[in-house]
Amino acid sequence: MKSSTKWLFSILIVVLLGVSIFAISKMYLSFKKDVDDKKWFKETAKEITYDENDDNTDNGIAELTLDNTDCIGWVRIENTKIDFPVMHTKSDPEFYLRRNFNKKHSNLGTPFADAACDIEYSKNIIIYGHNMKDGTMFSDLMKYKRKDYGINNPIIQFITPNGCNRYIVCAVAKVKSDDDWYTYINETDEEIFNEIKTKLQDEALYLINGELNYEDFYLTLSTCEYSQKDGRLIVIARRSDINC
């Protein structure tokens, strides 16, 4: 019995050791993958530039769209870590929720536009990104909870093959994932817009840089916000007549 017990104990130790090695290896590979994805974002961001005096309007974006036709642009906010490609997949809206630019599994995912959006015509382009615990991806949107931060960092750039649009932050709100603002993407009745706007103004942490107007075009960045169940933080910016 003692010999049998010892043998079973040895087998258990070997099994536990194997499981531990497998788990550690999996964690390491996941960590390494995250590091590689972060490096890709950082290195690629250096190639995305915009010069209003340069006739070459692709500014690195055209090459990206050739590498992956799901890429529609690049979103950038100075003084933050938000400097990423924007993907768009109408038939599979959350395809890039857990995939990198090269369509491989990624804990970080890649920011993506709402499936209903059209970057040329939509009144409100909504872009989703993760709020990662390590402070990457769209985590820096949390800084916009403070009105002074929004006042001092109001500019969001959205660079596409057609050029670069500058958006000015005008509202920040904590909402639920099914908030009515997410339904405002394409042209709608002005009365409906005003209803959505009124609700948003009631929810907003603050409003700056003028009123929300039906005639304007907007860019909305959205990420998870954990102070409420199924919460989201949205940073809404109005398109400026001045390019980047």
- Three-state secondary structure call for residue 208: coil
In this structure, the chain runs to a length of 244
Rounded mean pLDDT of 67-86?
A: 96
Q: Which two tokens stand for residue 147?
A: 């009105």
Cross-strand partners of 107: none
Residue 27 amino acid letter: M
Cross-strand partners of 234: 173, 222
Q: Which two tokens stand for residue 19?
A: 């499981």
pLDDT tens, residue by residue, 5-53: 666 666 767 666 656 565 555 554 555 677 899 999 999 999 998 766 5
Give the pLDDT score at 55: 53
Provide the whole-model pTM: 0.86
Rounded mean pLDDT of 192-201?
A: 95
Q: Which residue has the higher pLDDT, 159 or 17?
A: 159
CA distance 213 to 141: 23
Cα-to-chain-centroid distance, residue 183: 18
Pairing of strands 163-176, 204-207: antiparallel
